Chain A
Amino acid sequence: MPRSLIDFAELLSRVENDRELMRDLLSVFKEEFPRRRQALREAVESLDAKRVALEAHALKGMLANLAAREAAEAAARLEQLGRDGKSAEFRESLATLDNIAEELLPQLDACMAEVSG
C-alpha cells in the first residue's frame, strides 16, 4: 500500500464537500500539470533562476490547492532555490519533485474515480 500523497479529507473540506467542484479542480490539474512541469523543467535546464522560482511557485499553488502537501513542499523548496539563485541545486530538487509527482498522478486518478463514482 503506497503512502497517500493527497489529504483527501482536507481536499473535501476545502471544496466544502462539493464533489463536482473537486472533479473540476482535478481535471484542471490534470490538464495544467504536465504543461507547468514541462515549463519548470525547461527553466531548470536553462538555469534561469527567476523563471524557476516563478514556475515552481505556480506548481506549488496548484499542489497546495489539491492538499498534496508533500509535493507542494517539494515545489516550495525549488521556488526558494530559484529565489536564492542556487542553480547548482535545481536539478536535484527537481528530481525529488518529479519522483513525488510520479507517485502522485495515479493517486489523483484514483481520487478522480472516487468522486466520479
Chain B
Amino acid sequence: MRILIADDEIMSQRLLQKTMERAGYEVTAVGNGRLAADELCKSEGPKLALVDWVMPELDGPGVCREVRKRKEHSYVYMILLTSKEKKEDVVAGLESGADDYLTKPFDPEELKARVRTGMRILDLEDRLIEAREGMRFQATHDALTSIWNRGVIIELLGRELARSRREGKCTAILLGDLDHFKSVNDTYGHLAGDEVLKETARRLLSSVRSYDFVGRYGGEEFLVVLNNCDPAYGWTRAEDIRKIIALRPAQTSGGLVPITMSLGLLLSQEWGYRSAEELLQEADAALYAAKGAARNCVKVATPKIQQGAGDIPVPELERRRR
C-alpha cells in the first residue's frame, strides 16, 4: 500500500517516512502542497495521505479541498498533521475535507494506529465498490449465460440504431432461436437445457467482433447486434453463426445434445427510421419464417412497402393522396 507524505520540513518528512516504511508502507514524499494535490489526483495515486497543515504553495486544508473537488471516483483518506490544536483550527481542518488530524510532534504508535484506521475505511470502500460492481453486473447481465440481459440488449440496440443513422451506417439485427429446445429439456433434463443455453451464448460470443453485442432475448431466444456492419458482412455473419451453432453437439451432463438455430436477419439501412421495437418485430417475423422453412436457416426481413410499392396501381396512389 502506497501512502503520500507531504511536509516541507525535512526532519518531519524523514521521520514520517521512516516510521511508515518501518510499518510496511510504500512512501511517496513531497515537500509542498501543490505537488501533494497533483500526486493524489492521479488515477493511480496514493489513497492515503499524511498532509502537513502549514506548507508553501498550497496548505494542508487547501490540499484536502482540492482533492475532494478534483477526485470523484475513488476516495483518498487524508490525515492533517498540525501543531495547531485549538478547537476552531481542528474544525476548519476537518471541514476542508480531511478525515482525521494528528498533532505534531506525533507519537509513532498513535500515527500507525490512525493510519490503520484509514486503511480500514479504504478497505471498506473497496468492498462497497466491489459489491456495487457486482450488483451492476447482475442488473445488466443474464444470470445463466452472463451475456447482456433483455432490457440492456434492447437499449444497446436502440443506441446503436441511433448512431448508425447519424453516421449513415448500417446495423444488423440477428434474432436467433434454438430449434426444438423444449424437447431438449424433455429429453435431457433442465440442467442439460441450461448447459445448452450457456454453450450457445459462448458460441455466439466467439463468432462476433468484440464491439458487437450479444444478449439473451427470451427463454431460448438470443439477440445479436452487429455494429457498423455492411449488408454483405451481415449476411455472411448470420450464416456463419448458424453453422457454428450447428457444427457439433453441445456437451452437457445429460450427454451430447445436437443443436441448431433458426435466425431472422434485419439490416437497418433498408428500413429507414424505425424504432428498435418495430425492427425487432420485423426480425421476429423473419425468424418465424425461418422456423416455417424447416428451421436451421437464416431468413431476411424485407420491408413490405418497398416490395409492394410497384404493385399498387397508379390510380390507387392518386386516390390515397387525396
Chain A residues with Cβ below 8 Å from B15 are 14-15, 21, 25, 65
- B18 near A65: Cβ-Cβ < 8 Å: no
Give residues 1-45 of B contacting A (CB, 8 Å): 8-12, 14-15, 18-19, 22
Give the size of the chain A interface in residues (CB under 8 angstroms): 22
Cβ contact within 8 Å between A32 and B18 = no
Residue with the highest number of chain B CB atoms closer than 10 Å, among A18, A24, A25, A65: A65
Give CA–CA (A85, B15) in the complex, Å: 32
- Distance in Å: Cβ of B20 to nearest Cβ of chain A: 11
Interface size counted on chain B using CB atoms at 8 A: 16
The answer to whether B12 touches A61 (Cβ under 8 A) is: yes
In the complex with contacts A14-B107, A57-B83, A62-B54 CB distance below 8 A = no
A76 to B83, CA, bound (A): 10
Question: Bound complex: CA of A86 vs CA of B105, how far in Å?
Answer: 26
Question: In this complex, which of B11, B14, B22 has the most chain A Cβ atoms within 10 angstroms of its Cβ?
Answer: B11
Task: Judge whether A99 is part of the interface by a CB distance below 8 angstroms.
Answer: no
* CB-defined contacts of B14 to chain A, threshold 8 Å: 21, 24-25, 28
| Contact indicator per residue, chain A 33-67, by CB within 8 Å of chain B (1) or not (0) | 00000000000000000000010011011101111
B18–A64 CB distance below 8 A: no
**Min CB distance, B113 to chain A, in Å?**
14
Inside 8 A of A32's CB, which chain B residues have their CB? 10-11
* Shortest Cβ distance from A61 into B: residue: B9
CB of A11 to closest CB in B, whole Å: 10
Task: Tell me how far the C-beta of B102 lies from the nearest C-beta in chain A, rounded to whole angstroms.
Answer: 13
* Central interface residue in B18, B105, B107, by most chain A CB within 10 Å: B105
- Distance, CA A67 to CA B12, complexed state (A): 12
- Within the complex, the shortest CB–CB distance from B15 to chain A, in Å, comes to 6
A16 part of interface (Cβ distance < 8 Å): yes
Nearest B residue to A65 via CB reads B11
Chain A residues within an 8 Å CB radius of B105: 14, 61, 64-65, 67
> Residues 73-84 of chain B: 1 if any A CB is under 8 Å from the residue's CB, otherwise 0?
000000000010
**Segment 90-124 of B: residues with Cβ below 8 Å from A:** 104-105, 107-108
Taking A25-B11, A28-B11 as contacts, is the C-beta distance between A57 and B18 under 8 angstroms? no
Query: In the bound complex, do residue B83 and residue A64 qualify as a contact, i.e. CB atoms below 8 Å apart?
Result: yes
In the complex, are the beta carbons of A29 and B11 less than 8 A apart?
Answer: yes
A13 interface residue (CB < 8 Å to B):
yes
Give the shortest distance, in Å, between A95 (CB) and chain B (any CB).
23
Report the nearest B residue to A20, measured CB to CB. B18
Give every chain B residue within 8 A of A61 (Cβ-Cβ). Answer: 9, 11-12, 83, 104-105
- The answer to whether B108 touches A14, judged by C-beta atoms less than 8 angstroms apart, is yes
Question: How far is A64 from B7 in the complex, measured between Cα atoms in Å?
Answer: 15
B22 touches A62 (CB 8 A): no
Residues of A within 8 A of B10 (CB): 28, 32
Q: Could you tell me the distance between the alpha carbons of A13 and B15 in the complex, rounded to whole angstroms? A: 12
- Which A residue's beta carbon lies closest to that of B8? A58
- Indicate if the CB atoms of B107 and A57 lie closer than 8 Å: no
Taking CB as reference atom, which chain A residue is nearest B19?
A: A16
Taking A15-B108, A60-B83 as known contacts, 9 extra A-B pairs with beta carbons closer than 8 A to each other, sorted by chain A number, are A14-B105, A24-B14, A25-B11, A61-B12, A61-B104, A62-B11, A62-B12, A64-B104, A65-B9
